[in-house]
Structure 1
Amino acid sequence: MHTAETVVDFGGSPYDLPATLGVLQRGFADPAVQIDAQHRGRSAASGTPGAGAWLCQHIYDDAGAHLGAVTYRFDQIDASAVEVQVTATTAEAAAAALQRAPAVLGAGDDWWEFELLLDALGDRISTELAGIRRRNPGLRLPATGALFDQLVTVTLEQKVTHDQARHSWRNLLRRFGEAPPLSEEMRSKLSQGQLRLPLRPEQLRGIPSWQWHKLWVQPPLSKTVLRLAERGSAIHRLAAVPAETTQVAELAETLTSIPGIGPWTVAEALQRSHGSADLPAVGDYHLAHFVGEALTGRRTDDAGMLRLLEPFRPHRQRVVRLLGLSGFRMSRFGPRLAPEDHRDR
């Protein structure tokens, strides 16, 4: 075991650990990402001292070589500083994880230009968005660097309910994932759940087809996951692409060339792996309705959502994240989808 620690200081600016990292957690029982239960969903204009989170990853270098497995423990020690502890299987992985930690927390994510844009536009929508931002000044866009993991996770969410997707991800890691490295100090802080590492490409390729069925993963989705696994080395290399908007857009085009990977999957993955600020998820079953109703009082489709977001380019995903924290709840029509469970047939 190799351990390291540092403090990420946000220079006096409020920081909101649960709001920032919460987007990474796939359900409360996610084995790879855990926000401490007492702070889930909480946000404060003065930051969130006392909040904590866990993150398990495999670390790769820029050439796609596996350096080792790591466990992060994040503890917000005051309104604008987070203590980071890392335990890794190798010294190289520990050093790389420590270097990546500020990006994971969103320390390089600058909202200043977006705030200036809102002031300059000055219309009703921009004024309301500026108010939401003032109530949530600690929100950042995290960049985990784990592009492969994010693509696999989002693929499992394609055209299924949240319950199905969460079940598949949770049980995939519980049945086939490895236990992450944990120092004794980390073990003393781990009071809930069971942490597991996301699967590496070779581990995914070794899962038999009947196990995917038991995991409640439909055949088209398991085939797409295996295509990603076959391209694992290349995807790990692509993870090193810088987070600038233009380069992320080019990366998105490259990824959509993989069969089964469309714009929605790529957007959802890059929002988390690269902290993409201008890649809204087109093709989401609810998002366009939500954005349209939140901004105008009327539902819209993908084209309408993009028209509404266009004035805020290159910050369109920032708008979506703010709306998610605004407290707005979309009106519901009709019964909820209740998919049949065929796993025991």
Structure 2
Amino acid sequence: MTPAPTDEQAGLTSVYRPRDRVDVRLTLAPLRRGGGDPAWWFAPDGAIWQATWTADGPATRHLVVRSDGIHVTAWGPGAERALAGVPDLLGARDDPSGFDPSLHPVVRDAYRSRTAMRIPRSGNVLEALVPAVLEQKVVGLDAKAAWRRLVLQHGSPAPGPAPRTMRVPPTAEGWRDVPVWDWRRAGIEEVRAGTVRRAAAVARRLQEGADLPIEEARRRLLTVRGIGPWTVAEIASRALGDADAVSVGDYHLAHLVGWALTGSRTDDAGMLRLLEPWAGHRQRVIRLIEITQTSRAPKFGPRAPRARPLI
């Protein structure tokens, strides 16, 4: 990173020059919870905007890929930390060198044009945790709609010249203070709302886990009632940069992996057996399969009904 200080109104800027080529959009895509996520905006001109909380306060990041590197500008009290976090955000800690895509033609073909995809590490545990909890055992569209509604209602405006609809997701205190009626209007019952509140109450300890060995981070997450292995994997693949995370217990994932790699659906145990040759890189394989095979896969079972606000 090559920092270049500017005045406060213009923000702080830097240029990140990764050692290897990085596909910024593909790398960051898992962090965005649907096209309506108020914390993200993938602009038509190719720029990417993100609103986030840092240890120093809220920040907005603006990333633009140019010939000489990835140009980043940040605004807000957390601007300096936001700039410092860009390499991790774009997968600087992700090492694909031991990954062998040739073990299966589907993986090989998917990887051929996506060698610049990295596993991101946002470093922000709570911002990965809350939407993961909202996605527990519900239709993805409903979870994304709930996230959008709650962040728009309880988040804060993104600092700097960000699009006016962008919001910084709530802090731990903000999530604890969401009234019960707002959870219910978003379609979130007490089980998931309670899990978010319990996690928010120990958010500092969970965040500390991001700087510890990943097994300790997982252990801390599992101490929160309502958070199990599926949710931990969803958090670890986004906030902790875990290239081996597998979301066991997902309603669709095992079937998709089974169909992509064998032509037949399978269960969690079967999925783990199929992914074992890529141990250490199983999340990478899952992402490649999701990107290239989801639209081609047959529909497994009846479509779940959409939820309605719990009012």
Root-mean-square deviation over aligned CA pairs: 1.8
Find the counterpart in structure 2 of residue 43 from structure 1. Answer: none
Could you tell me the TM-score, scaled by structure 2's length? 0.91
Q: CA deviation at 1:135?
A: 1.2
Q: How much has 1:342 moved relative to structure 2?
A: 4.5
Partner Cα distance (1:206, 1:310) in 2: 43
TM-score by length of 1: 0.83
Map of 2:4 onto structure 1: none
Name which of 266, 270, 273 aligns with 1:300. Answer: 266
Distance 1:148 1:295, change over 3 A: same
Residue in structure 1 matched with residue 153 of structure 2 by the alignment: 175
SS at match of 2:34: coil
Q: Which letter does structure 1 place at the counterpart of 2:12?
A: A
Q: Name the counterpart of 1:26.
A: 33
* Secondary structure at 1:269 match in 2: helix
Residue from 13, 19, 22 that aligns with 1:5: 13
Structure 2 partner of 1:131:
109
Task: Percent identity, please.
Answer: 35
Contact 2:254 2:267 in 1 (8 A): yes
User: How many angstroms does 1:289 deviate by?
Assistant: 0.4
Which residue of the partner structure matches residue 108 of structure 1?
93
Code of the residue aligned with 1:99 in structure 2: it is A
Question: Structure 1 residues 155, 14: closer, same or farther in 2, change over 3 A?
Answer: same
Letter in 1 for 2:310: R
Partner residue, 2:3: none
SS in 2 for 1:225: helix
Does the aligned pair in 2 maintain the 1:155–1:265 contact within 8 Å?
yes
Aligned positions of 1:219-234 closer than 5 A: 219-234=190-205
Query: In structure 1, what is the Cα distance between the partners aligned to 2:309 and 2:158?
Result: 32
Letter in 2 for 1:97: A
Select the residue among 51, 68, 71 that pairs with 1:83: 71
Q: What is the deviation of 1:250?
A: 3.3
Q: What CA distance in whole angstroms lies between the structure 1 residues aligned with 2:109 and 2:183?
A: 45
**Distance change >3 Å, CA 57–CA 340, structure 1 → 2:** closer
How far the C-alpha of 1:106 sits from its partner, in A, is: 1.4
Superposed, 1:43-62 pairs within 5 Å as 51-60=46-55
The equivalent of 1:206 in structure 2 is 177
C-alpha displacement of 1:208: 1.6
Distance in 2 between residues matched to 1:340 and 1:140, nearest whole Å: 34
Mapped to 1, the partners of 2:224 and 2:301 lie a distance apart of: 35
Q: Out of 84, 92, 95, which is 1:99 matched to?
A: 84
Q: Please list, as runs of the form range in 1=range in 2, the aligned pairs for 1:61-76 lying within 5 A after superposition.
A: 67-76=56-65
Contact (CA 8 Å) 2:155, 2:170: kept in 1 or not? Answer: yes
Letter in 2 for 1:318: R
Contact 1:22 1:35 in 2 (8 A): no
Alpha-carbon distance in structure 2 between the residues aligned to 1:339 and 1:278: 31
Cα deviation for residue 334 of structure 1 reads: 4.5
Q: CA deviation at 1:205?
A: 1.5
- Quote the offset at 1:253 in angstroms: 2.5
Pick from 245, 262, 278 the counterpart of residue 279 of structure 1: 245
Per-residue Cα deviation, 1:215-251 (whole angstroms, up to 9, x for no partner): 211110000011011112212222223xxxxx21332
Structure 2: distance between partners of 1:325 and 1:178: 32
- Equivalent position SS for 1:34: strand
TM-aligned CA deviation for residue 107 of structure 1: 2.8
Give 5+ residue unaligned stretches, structure 2. Answer: 1-7
1:15 pairs with 2:10: no
Contact residue 46 and residue 64 of structure 2 kept, 8 A: yes
Shift of 1:118: 4.0
Q: What is the CA deviation profile of residues 75-125 of structure 1, one whole-angstrom value per residue up to 9, with x for unaligned ones?
A: 1113x8311111122xxx3222211111111133221221xx345xxx4x1
Unaligned segments of structure 1, at least 5 residues: 39-49, 61-66, 242-246
